[in-house]
Amino acid sequence: MRLINILGVKINVFANKQEALVEIEKLLNNKEQYYLVTPNPEIILTATRHDEELFYILNKATLAMADGIGLKIVGWFMGVNLLRISGADLIKDVLKLAQQQERKVAIFNWKDGLSSAQDIAISLSKKYPKLKLIVQNVDRIKNEKTAGAYPINIEIFNKIKQFQPEIIFCTLGSPSQEKFIFYNLKNWPSVKFGIGIGGAFDFLTGKIKRAPKIFRIIGIEWLWRLIKQPCRWKRIYNAVIIFPIQFFLWRFVLPFFYRPNVVCMLYKKYNSTDHLKYNPSDPLYQDGTTQEEKIKYKILIVERINEKNHWQLPQGGTDGQSLAKAGFRELSEEINNNKFKPIANFSKLHVYEFGKKISKFNVLSKDVYGYKGQKQGLFIAEFLGQDEDIKINFWEHSAWRWVDSSGLIDQVYLSRKPSTKIFLEKFKQIIKHSL
């Protein structure tokens, strides 16, 4: 099945809606569990600019169907007539299929949304009288980062498990709905297929009147939503103004430049004689070195997800911030704490091109960022916490460990050695001056 990449997010290309429905039916007939996402310009912006966890989840989806006229337009610039399938249309087809095949459906509804669980249940019972259905109200997460889990009330959890649905819908809105499905799907073995559909049920319950068909055909449904719900202006502004600008830069401008990047060197001190009891007559204490010179350093490295033995120093984009601010932010995000003290930073130490081997979440880095490569600066910080304070993001790294500074070069991945050698020299200069 053909895929295209828009700002790093993979989108499936379908010839028509029937082809998409055939793929969904195939998933329902398999034994595995799958989930579908319907990215729109706003969701893609969130994933690429603010939420790496969402970015990971979108790119792990079995199917990704374009929702929003903005994606169709940018598809034309990529030489693809991208089929747009809105959530409001998709749920009707899936519900019809579920009724025909006597498949049970569970709906997780945002309890503070326009439509209540009762509204949805009553509306669907009229439109799909033979549908086997359960609807439950659930909460959105307050923090967009779920750290590998999306909590759910145990009573609701057990109700769904007992009901044994094969299809689940979630109306929490993005990114909550994608995270809810991603983390909870495995908890209900009966489920074959899950999808987040935002406020699509509000059209079926009559809480919101859908835009006239002519508005949908010419791609200005967003204007209708703006008229009906002025409070959505910021979301619509991002989709209609910011997204096209970001796409234009990503597609036609950034490939000629290097992405500003900061590498984070986090270290901790240890004494090379800590394993010995203090004994003034011991040769280790009579070798002419000072106590300070006996201090050694361990440096944190991380293993890239889906790339076994690809160890490197943590790094990330500066996102328009100064090197110091970007380094502090990036390191805090990488280890999920700020128990460290900034020591120094250096700009423009290393430049490299992405090529066809460097990737992120199985998407080529040049397709994720748009740039042809990276220009790297260095942020050095001393760790002040305990090892148990370090919590790496599973969607980015699979493991972490401390290594002696003397063996750092040997421990990092082959392609990382030249740059790491440069960074280590800067680290040694800082340490030498601090003694």
Distance CA 360, CA 8 (A): 9
**C-alpha separations of 164 from 6, 12, 120 in Å:** 36, 29, 19
The three-state secondary structure class of 401 is: strand
The three-state secondary structure class of 193 is: strand
CB-based contact 191:166 (threshold 8 Å) = yes
CB-based contact 161:243 (threshold 8 Å) = no
> pLDDT tens digit string along 311-359?
999 999 999 999 999 999 999 999 999 999 999 999 999 999 998 777 7
Mean pLDDT by 10 residues, the chain (435 residues): 91 92 92 94 93 93 92 93 87 94 96 93 95 94 69 91 96 93 94 93 89 78 77 84 95 96 96 51 46 78 91 95 97 95 96 84 86 96 96 92 96 95 96 75
Amino acid at 404: D
> pLDDT tens digit string along 256-310?
999 999 999 999 998 765 544 444 454 444 444 444 556 899 999 999 988 889 9
Distance CA 272, CA 296 (A): 6
**C-alpha separations of 99 from 32, 93, 133, 201, 226 in Å:** 21, 10, 10, 17, 34
CB-based contact 61:11 (threshold 8 Å) = no
Burial label, 268 (beta-carbon count in 10 A; 0-12, 13-18, 19+): middle
Q: Among candidates 262, 229, 233, 16, which has minimal Cα distance to 114?
A: 229
Spell out where 236-291 has E strands.
258-271
Burial label, 270 (beta-carbon count in 10 A; 0-12, 13-18, 19+): middle
Instruction: Give the burial string for 200-214 (b: 16+ CB within 10 Å, else e).
Output: bbbbbbebbebbeee
> Which CATH number does the domain 257-434 belong to among 3.40.50.920, 2.90.10.10, 3.30.420.40, 3.90.79.10?
3.90.79.10
Distance CA 337, CA 340 (A): 8
Domain boundaries, the chain: 3-251, 257-434
Q: Containing H/E element for 150?
A: none
